[in-house]
């Protein structure tokens, strides 16, 4: 296996566990139970129906999800959900849905939602350059909103909610793309969760949607079939040709989470140790490395920071790459450095990054 993959701190797609990559490599040539390449197995085969079934069961087991939820594997990325959610839930409404504007991705969400119906921006972090998240005292949720929407982890800015927001009597909708299955998430407190795979659980191409059945009662009947959750429910996520490869890889990652890691509590403990190691290092670097996020809202997934000048940051990227450490450039929207610590990235990889950063500071700073 290629050791570079174990030191890939990219914000997305993220690093996958080495044991999963090994199985994927074999599956490209031949899936053991079928004797064919994963790239050539029919989506109408019994084998693939069993893959979808097992994956659905694994996600239900990992999250403790009841039968009142549908588990769907859709295409179009998280971006399609930015539109599909309001197209489904906002049509014909006069009372606004409530959205939180906490960073780059929730900004994209809002742009799409506004095209579909009335929206209230409940809180905006723009004035603080999205370095912090709101406290409960700053959030005045209305009991009449058709639903609330927020992004649990802002991948670009590296800020993450460490609690569930909203009221229990208003449906919660959440984009969990960059922290899904990285920790337990009280899934049963949400009416709809969506998360693309390419951070913690697989390659791009599939987006997981968990939707409570009750949310889809009395929704409009005039949506294109592809954009109607009910089409995908009826077809068991096989409405048109699904991304068989991506879904299979997500299955392998859920097996790894269940059997190798031992569930989401354990995954969370590992992810916390990784983030803590890096944040502690930033905090004791005498300002050579400056963390971007307010301490209380720091993301366990995306650690965003700056060095004193853009020139020094460029040197940092060059030397990191020479040391065999990859994917540290910040998102093009804000620049800086971002180390993403998704599930597949090991504690040893973080220790290696910290060692490199200490060395770099010795050579170029104080």
String of DSSP letters for 203-249: -TT-EEEEEEGGGGTT--S-S-GGG-HHHHHHTTT-SS---HHHHHH
Q: Is 105 a catalytic residue?
A: yes
Work out whether 77 is an interface residue with ligand PLP (CB under 6 A): yes
Buried residues in 169-191 as b, exposed as e (16+ CB within 10 A): ebbbbbbbbbbbbbbebebeebb
Work out whether 196 is an interface residue with ligand PLP (CB under 6 A): yes
Which residue, 41 or 344, is less far from ligand PLP as judged by CB?
344
Q: Is 78 annotated as a binding residue?
A: yes
Q: What number of other Cβ atoms are within 10 A of residue 167's Cβ?
A: 14
Instruction: Compute how many residues bind ligand PLP; rule: CB under 6 A.
Output: 11
Which residue, 166 or 360, is less far from ligand PLP as judged by CB?
166
Q: Is 115 a catalytic residue?
A: no
Min separation Cβ 205 and ligand PLP, Å:
9
Of 20, 78, 87, 278, which one interacts with ligand PLP (CB under 6 A)? 78
Collapsing DSSP to helix, strand or coil, 52 comes out as helix
Q: Is 198 annotated as a binding residue?
A: yes
Q: Is 44 annotated as a binding residue?
A: yes
Catalytic residue among 123, 179, 183, 199: 199
CA distance 89 to 100: 17
Within 8 A by CB and 6+ apart from 345, the residues are: 6, 8, 9, 14, 15, 274
Of 7, 8, 9, 12, which one interacts with ligand PLP (CB under 6 A)? 12
Nearest residue (beta carbon) to ligand PLP = 77
**What residues from 121 to 160 belong to the interface with ligand PLP (CB under 6 A)?**
151, 155
Which residue, 164 or 315, is less far from ligand PLP as judged by CB?
164
What is the crossing angle of helices 347-364 and 264-283, to 10°? 10
Q: Is 93 a catalytic residue?
A: no
* Contact set with ligand PLP (CB under 6 A): 12, 77-79, 105, 151, 155, 175, 177-178, 196
- Hey, which residues are catalytic here? 105, 175, 199
């Amino acid at each position: 296996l290629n050791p570079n993959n174990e030191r890939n701190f990219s914000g997305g797609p993220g690093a996958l566990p080495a044991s999963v990559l090994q199985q994927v490599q074999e599956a490209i040539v031949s899936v053991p139970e079928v004797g064919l390449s994963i790239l050539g197995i029919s989506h109408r085969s019994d084998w693939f129906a069993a893959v979808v079934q097992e994956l659905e069961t694994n996600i239900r087991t990992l999250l403790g999800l009841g039968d009142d939820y549908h588990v769907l594997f859709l295409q179009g990325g998280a971006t399609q959900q930015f539109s599909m959610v309001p197209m489904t839930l906002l049509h014909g409404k006069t009372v606004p849905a409530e959205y939180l504007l906490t960073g780059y991705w929730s900004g994209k969400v809002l742009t799409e939602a506004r095209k579909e119906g009335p929206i209230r921006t409940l809180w905006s972090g723009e004035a603080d350059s999205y370095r912090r998240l709101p406290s409960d005292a700053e959030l005045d949720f209305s009991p009449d909103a058709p639903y609330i929407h927020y992004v649990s982890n802002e991948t670009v800015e590296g800020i993450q909610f460490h609690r569930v927001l909203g009221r229990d009597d208003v449906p919660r909708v959440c984009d969990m793309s960059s922290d899904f299955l990285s920790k337990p998430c009280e899934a049963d407190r949400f009416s709809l969760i969506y998360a693309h795979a390419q951070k913690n659980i697989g390659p791009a191409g599939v987006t997981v949607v968990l939707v409570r059945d009750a949310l889809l009662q009395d929704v409009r009947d005039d949506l294109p079939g592809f954009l109607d959750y009910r089409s995908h429910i009826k077809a068991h996520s096989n409405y048109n040709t699904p991304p068989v490869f991506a879904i299979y890889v997500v299955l392998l990652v859920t097996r790894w989470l269940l059997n190798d890691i031992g569930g989401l509590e354990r995954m969370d403990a590992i992810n916390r140790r990784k983030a803590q190691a890096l944040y502690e290092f930033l905090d004791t670097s005498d300002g050579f490395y400056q963390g971007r996020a307010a301490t209380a809202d720091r993301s366990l997934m995306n650690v965003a920071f700056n060095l004193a000048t853009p020139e020094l940051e460029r040197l940092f990227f060059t030397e990191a790459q020479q040391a065999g450490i990859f994917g540290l450039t910040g998102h093009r929207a804000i620049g800086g450095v971002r180390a993403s610590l998704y599930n597949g990235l090991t504690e040893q990889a973080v220790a290696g990054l910290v060692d490199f950063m200490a060395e770099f500071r010795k050579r170029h700073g104080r």
